[in-house]
Structure 1
Amino acid sequence: MSARSKARPAPAVPFQPDWTDVLASIEDGVVVIDSAGVVADLNPAAEQLVGVSAPQAVGKRVDDLFSGERGRRAQRGALHWAGELVRDTLSQGVARRRGEGLLRSRRGDVEVNAACAPLHDGDGTVAGAVLVLRDLTLQRALEATGRRAERLAALGTVALGLAHEIKNPLGGIKGAAQLLRGAVDDPELVHCTDIIIREVERLDGLV
């Protein structure tokens, strides 16, 4: 056997990810549901959003997972919107979305948007669904910051306009006071014109 053949590297082993680690690394909440509407798994982000740990959630119907969210609608037997989204996906076999909705998480009510997609087995039968919940807290905070920045920019524009409008008459007042000062001999009137000129200069420095 030649030295070259001895140095040949071993074949690379195909990467086989641990799907539990994959789910745990996703920042969005992910809930996996079987075809009967029973929770099969959920990642840590979903635990935070729904306020229930994975051991408590697995084996429950998805409607029960969100039962704390129903409020008055539950008294009329209606499903929580997330449960409805999953049920529609399982029954129709197509992905469904919801623009936004509220979840009662461990840190209070959280606004999320949601998407639910069917999981198909080898023959195309719907075997379950995956519900993805995206926390909109940061997005809403950024939007609020942007709105505040826009308001401040608008106020700055108004302030610049006001400063310009104030400076114009100040120049006229100062000029008139200077002319008046040169035309009067009364010390008291001279003192008054000096006050006018000084205060105009102070205001001019402010704007």
Structure 2
Amino acid sequence: MSASPEDTHGSTYARTPRTTPTRYKDRATWEQEAIHAVLDDAFVCHLGFVADGAPVVLPTIFARVGSRLYLHGSTGSRPLRGAADEQGLQVCVTVTHVDALVLTKSAFNHSVNFRSVVAHGTAHQVTDPEELDVALAALVDQVVPGRSGEVRPANPKELAATAVIRLELDEVSAKTRSDGANDDPADADLPHWSGIVPVRTVYGTPEPHDATVPLPAHMHRFPR
């Protein structure tokens, strides 16, 4: 949604032990185009890191710009404080879409169809003012494309309370499942229903706070 227009057709990220699954390796890909597509179709990720010796996973909004992820947070949050250090913060960022419930005749074979991305690396806080402007605009546009140009930019007080961390997409892979209900042959004659239930995100009609302001063009993507 907020990606830069770079050509990634045919390009791949390097495989590493952390980005190579131990099960269902055929579902994994390191192709940049496929990975970016999963990321660009989302705006919420889960950020994992270690704080005081214990694992922490937090949901937050993100945006992709080229081969970088920008994650939004408060200047007082733990991951943002950790990423402000010179050495940065070791993180794992995940994005998941659930596309269907997969219901089979046996409990064991139930599953979901999904698209997911897992990225590892060292996150750093964005301090350059120009890069911060790009990141904040991308974060707004990741949620609603074109929105950043239709709102008041953050003022100095708001900027002082906002922090953004950057993660380079160097160690990253995607994994997907898009199969049907794979019943075991031995279960074929069982009288139980099997199949898939598609899962989709559906947006409602925009509800104005100020009815005197007409719906802008970038909001026409939502049903009216």
Question: What range describes the TM-score normalised by the shorter chain of this pair?
Answer: under 0.3
Q: Structure 1 or 2: larger helix share?
A: 1
| TM-score, reference length from structure 2 | 0.19
Q: Structure 1 or 2: larger strand share?
A: 2
Higher RCO (CA-CA < 8 Å; seq separation 6+)? 2
Larger Rg belongs to: 1
